[in-house]
């Protein structure tokens, strides 16, 4: 049990003699009686108690030193520095005290050893408990302070991460995109051909409507309302998926400043969207799944109408927490913004290059200018759009005079593009080269480009 008592403990001999015969100390099972006997000797008993407390203190110090050396040895072996903790001796038996006395004073008989150990044991154990309690309380307080400090740093880190990931841009983006879908739906209503309406509705559902749904899911997942039913492993996967797509959205926003630009839509893979739904409130999941089903079904015009109805109900839910940042924009503002974005794309096209893209953008500009409605459609719809524009222009006498020649140029360019595509296909199959000397592509390109530039200029 560590270093033996100082040799000055030999004074115990005189104390033993003061008891009288050793037989008086035998059968000392009652520790309290022995302690009372020892207290009767006043200063001598206090000295003995102090000496034995010195034993325990020396034993504790030796154990600390031993553990410290062991910890240092382990730390060197692993190459890691471990944080030290105060050592606690959590148990002291009466046998430990007896062993100390026997090793120090071999000439003490068992009766004297038992009497001495019994008299001092209770007070030594109480002192040990008090010291341990103080050490534990200090450690708990230090741990709580460390956890509180770490928690504050984690909260600040999460806030910084959110700002870096651009999650705060999701609500206005959702508002803007939803409004554009509604306006494009009105543009689809302009068409008289039901099959064209269904085709345009399908394209809108599978493009902007899918993007809107993914933005909503990412926004709801970023609110951090975690279900208590999720296990730790699942949470790890969910948080990793959310962080990955938040970063992806931030990069998407930094690469394109417009919805109608050359950058494609922001889309989350279906399997990842399913994972993110685990962070969404249960009472909203059914509506989100219904929106997903509408974008993957037959995708006719009635599906688009139903999609907008579900969105209208969902957008009024306070749990969506979108705010009103973009909700106040009226239709005319968004139409103006969309026309400006199309104009920016047009100006970005290299002169006399990518004729099909240039015709596509100018056709969308002309549609919005001549019908008053915006339209979201791919290049394959250009022939159908021009066919509808022909009908719309003829029904508006005030437009017919100015738009007739411009529409003719667009139709002529469309014929050239289609002819050029067929010609390229023939060249690939026959290996021959043919040229149409009757057309001047550069002149035609410039003419259509000028039409788009003039129609996109604010009135």
What is the tens place of the pLDDT at every residue in 110-125? 888 888 888 777 777 7
Structural domain containing residue 291 = 166-328
Contacts of 261 (CB under 8 A, 6+ apart): 341, 344, 345
Own/partner long-range contacts of 420-424 (Cβ < 8 Å, ≥24 apart): 420/355
Is residue 77 a part of any domain in this protein?
no
Is 131 found in the same domain as 66? yes
Q: What average pLDDT does the structure give for the chain?
A: 75
Cβ burial of 106 (10 Å; 0-12, 13-18, 19+) is exposed
Is residue 262 a part of any domain in this protein?
yes
Is residue 1 a part of any domain in this protein?
no
What is the tens place of the pLDDT at every residue in 272-307? 999 999 888 888 899 999 999 999 877 888 999 999
Percentage above 90 pLDDT, the chain: 32
Structure confidence at residue 420 (pLDDT): 85
Of 158, 191, 214, the last residue of a domain is 158
Contacts of 113 (CB under 8 A, 6+ apart): 98, 101, 102
Nearest to 322 by CA among 216, 212, 181: 216
Is 205 found in the same domain as 293? yes
Is 228 found in the same domain as 186? yes
255 versus 16: which is more confidently predicted? 255
Is 322 found in the same domain as 205? yes
Is 147 found in the same domain as 205? no
Q: What is the CA radius of gyration of the chain?
A: 43
What is the tens place of the pLDDT at every residue in 374-422? 999 999 999 999 999 999 999 888 888 889 999 999 999 999 999 888 8
Structure confidence at residue 152 (pLDDT): 53
Structure confidence at residue 211 (pLDDT): 94
Helix (H, G, I), strand (E, B) or coil at 329: coil
Structure confidence at residue 297 (pLDDT): 74
Number of domains in the chain: 3
Is 323 found in the same domain as 174? yes
Is residue 2 a part of any domain in this protein?
no
Is 224 found in the same domain as 287? yes
When pLDDT is cut at 50, 70 and 90, the band that residue 168 belongs to is confident
Is 451 found in the same domain as 337? yes
Cut 0.85: pTM above it: no
When pLDDT is cut at 50, 70 and 90, the band that residue 163 belongs to is very low
């Amino acid at each position: 049990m560590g270093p033996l008592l100082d040799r000055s403990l030999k004074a115990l001999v005189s104390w033993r003699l003061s008891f009288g015969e050793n037989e008086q100390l035998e059968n000392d099972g009652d520790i309290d009686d022995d302690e009372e006997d020892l207290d009767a000797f006043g200063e001598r008993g206090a000295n003995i108690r102090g000496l034995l407390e010195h034993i325990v203190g020396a034993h504790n110090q030796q154990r600390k030193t031993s553990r410290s050396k062991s910890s240092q040895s382990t730390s060197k072996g692993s190459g890691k520095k471990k944080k030290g903790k105060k050592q606690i001796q959590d148990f002291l038996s009466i046998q430990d005290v007896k062993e100390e006395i026997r090793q120090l004073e071999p000439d003490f008989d068992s009766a004297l050893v038992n009497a001495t150990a019994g008299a001092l044991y209770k007070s030594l154990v109480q002192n040990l408990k008090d010291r341990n309690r103080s050490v534990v309380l200090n450690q708990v307080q230090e741990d709580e302070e460390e956890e509180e400090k770490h928690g504050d740093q984690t909260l600040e880190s999460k806030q910084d991460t959110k700002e870096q990931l651009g999650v705060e841009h999701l609500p206005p983006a959702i508002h803007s995109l939803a409004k554009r879908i509604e306006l494009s739906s009105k543009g689809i209503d302009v068409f008289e051909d039901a099959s064209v309406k269904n085709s345009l509705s399908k394209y809108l559902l599978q493009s902007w409507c899918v993007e809107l749904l993914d933005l909503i899911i990412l926004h709801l997942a970023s609110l951090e309302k975690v279900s208590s039913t999720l296990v730790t492993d699942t949470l790890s996967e969910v948080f990793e998926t959310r962080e990955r797509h938040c970063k992806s959205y931030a990069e998407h926003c930094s690469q394109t400043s417009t919805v109608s630009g050359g950058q494609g839509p922001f889309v989350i893979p279906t399997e990842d969207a399913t994972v993110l739904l685990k962070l969404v409130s249960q009472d909203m999941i059914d509506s989100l799944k219904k929106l997903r089903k509408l974008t993957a079904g037959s995708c006719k015009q009635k599906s688009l109408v139903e999609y907008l109805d579900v969105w209208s109900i969902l957008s009024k839910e306070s749990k969506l927490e979108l705010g009103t940042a973009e909700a106040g924009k009226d239709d005319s503002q968004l139409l103006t913004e969309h026309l400006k974005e199309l104009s920016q794309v047009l100006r970005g096209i290299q002169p006399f290059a990518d004729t099909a893209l240039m015709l596509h953008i100018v056709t969308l500009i002309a549609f919005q200018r001549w019908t008053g409605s915006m339209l979201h459609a791919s290049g394959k719809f250009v022939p159908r759009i021009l066919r509808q524009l022909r009908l719309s222009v003829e029904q508006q006498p005030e437009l017919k005079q100015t738009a007739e020649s411009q529409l003719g140029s667009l139709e002529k360019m469309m014929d050239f593009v289609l002819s050029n595509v067929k010609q390229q296909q023939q060249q690939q199959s026959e290996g021959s080269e043919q040229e149409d000397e009757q057309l001047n592509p550069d002149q035609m390109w410039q003419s259509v480009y000028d039409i788009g530039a003039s129609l996109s200029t604010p009135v």
